Structure 1
Amino acid sequence: MLAEPTPAVQPVRALLYLHGFNSSSASPKARLVKAACEALARHHERPFACLTPDLSHRPDLALAQAESALEVLGRENTLVVGSSMGGFLATLLAERHGLRAVLINPAVRPARFVADYLGQTLVNEASGERFTIDNSYFDQLTSQQWDRIVQPSRYLLLLGSNDETLDCRDAVRAYAGSRTLIHPGGDHGFEVLQDYLPVLFAHGGWQVPTPFSIA
């Protein structure tokens, strides 16, 4: 069941979507969010900027790229949306700049997963880039790790109860006090995101019809 969204007071003027680790702007969720932003602008007949940048697999570069994209959109009036590792990065931006954020199955402490991939060579399906996980990933993620959420009300969590990659209970504990919607049976890919677009945009202060069509 979807909870009735509670609109924020002031609508944001832009949205920044941050994809997960070793993903891209061509991912299904990134393309869906981009299309939804365009539909929202048409529906309200008002400009609504949206960026879904391709982020590096290296944590330090990914954060720098996210910061650059946020600067383009404007730090004061942007809703940050992040999935998985993108949720971790979105949290860093939200905490630094006092932004509202929607987190989809966010990685809470990603440094602890580095050991599982250490020495492995991975390939980005979108770009074809090959890279090997080394200890620098652990060092960078450890240096980026936040301690606690200062203002939980800035966050909306969208979690899948059956996430096969991340335990949703970690996010519930880490973001205690944040508005949290858990989709029964939802997996890490959160393929039901389209059903949650109204509440996602409502967190940014926008009223959208329910159901929300992006056609």
Structure 2
Amino acid sequence: MSALICGSVAYDTVMVFEGRFKDHILADRIHLLNVSFLVPGMRRNFGGCAGNIAYNLKLLGGEGHAMAVVGSSLGGFYAMVLAERLGCPAVLLNPAVEPARDLAAYVGELRAYHDASVTLQWLPEALDELRALAPARITRPERCFAVIAKGDELLDWREMAAHCAGAQILLLEGSDHALSDFAQHLPAVLRFLRLGDREPVKT
């Protein structure tokens, strides 16, 4: 049995906490709970519905194949990594090509963008992990489609285009890092993934 899998793939670092939180928290004292607590360890989990489907298919003796991976910015970097490992097509939306270099300036304590009262810790080890993941190049550019905006305010479009050499590239004259005009480029993405009409993408 073989199946084409559509769904999300996630990679999480999850804290390891022995026991159950409910055994350590009294309901009538929950309002006193401090958000700081000791975490003796962390574990890395792959998940998301696509990962879970593939895992369970394997348990049943089947084989799952990723239909494609799609990612934007750092997610575009992860999509490149997954496409190389899984051998599937990738859609890269303003992909980060040197995230360890680009994120090095943020090592240390950061404030969350959605709530300045929340602090986060960006560790140097995370940069090492990004370097270890980084593919030297895209080995099968014909299975990649990149949407790259010259107006990207965070990443250099020339570097993205050079890294994606040989891939189908939709180079946008303006736009921005978030590709806020993505809806008008979605038909080209769907054509590449063969989810729309079957005509070749015009770039």
TMscore range, shorter length:
0.5 to 0.7
Aligned to 1:51: 8
CA contact 1:70–1:78 (8 Å) conserved in 2: no
Q: Report the CA distance between 1:57 and its aligned residue.
A: 8.3
Question: Could you say which residue in structure 2 is the equivalent of 1:72?
Answer: 52
Call closer, same or farther: CA 1:120–1:129 in 2, change over 3 Å. closer
Structure exhibiting the larger radius of gyration computed from Cα positions: 2
Q: CA deviation at 1:167?
A: 0.4
1:165 aligns with 2:151: no
Alpha-carbon distance in 2 for matches of 1:64, 1:112: 25
- Is residue 185 from structure 1 mapped to residue 174 from structure 2 by the alignment? yes
- Candidates 74, 80, 92, aligned match of 1:103: 92
* Alpha-carbon shift at residue 114 of structure 1 (Å): 2.7
SS at 1:87 equivalent: helix
Question: Which residue in 2 is equivalent to 1:139?
Answer: 128
Q: 1:100·1:203 contact (CA, 8 Å) conserved in 2?
A: no
Give the RMSD, CA atoms, in angstroms. Answer: 3.0
TM-score of the superposed pair, with normalisation by structure 2: 0.67
More strand by share: 2
Contact residue 160 and residue 190 of structure 1 kept, 8 A: yes
The correspondence of residues 17-56 of structure 1 with structure 2, limited to 5 A, is 50-51=7-8, 56=12
Secondary structure in 1 aligned to 2:194?
A: coil
Residue 158 of structure 1: how far off its partner (Å): 0.5
Q: Structure 1, residues 124-157: CA drift from partner, whole Å, max 9, x if none?
A: 639x964211211211111111111110011000
Give the gaps of 5 or more residues in structure 2: 15-41, 55-63, 198-203
Offset at residue 78 of structure 1 (A): 1.7
Distance in 2, matches of 1:130 and 1:200, equals: 36
TM superposition shift of 1:72: 3.3
Distance in 1 of aligned mates of 2:183 and 2:45 = 29
Is the 2:96–2:155 contact (alpha carbons within 8 Å) kept by the matching residues of 1? yes
Of 84, 104, 108, which aligns to 1:115?
Answer: 104
Q: Per-residue displacement from partner, 1:185-213 (whole Å, max 9, x unpaired)? A: 111010111111111111111225xxxxx
Which runs of structure 1 show a deviation greater than 4 angstroms over 4 or more consecutive aligned residues? 12-15, 55-58
Q: Structure 1 residues 181 and 146 mapped into 2: Cα distance closer, same or farther (>3 Å)?
A: same
Is 2:188 the counterpart of 1:199?
yes
CA deviation after TM superposition for structure 1 residue 77, in Å: 4.2
Q: Identity across aligned pairs (percent)?
A: 29
Kindly indicate whether the alpha-carbon contact (under 8 Å) linking 2:149 and 2:177 is maintained by their aligned counterparts in 1. Answer: yes
Note if 1:153 corresponds to 2:142: yes
Q: Which amino acid aligns with 2:78?
A: L
Partner SS state of residue 127, structure 2? helix
- Find the residue that maps to 2:162 and give its secondary structure: helix
Q: Structure 1 length normalisation: TM-score?
A: 0.64
**Structure 1, unaligned stretches of length 5 or more?**
1-11, 16-49, 209-215
Kindly provide the amino acid, as one letter, of the partner of residue 78 in structure 1.
M
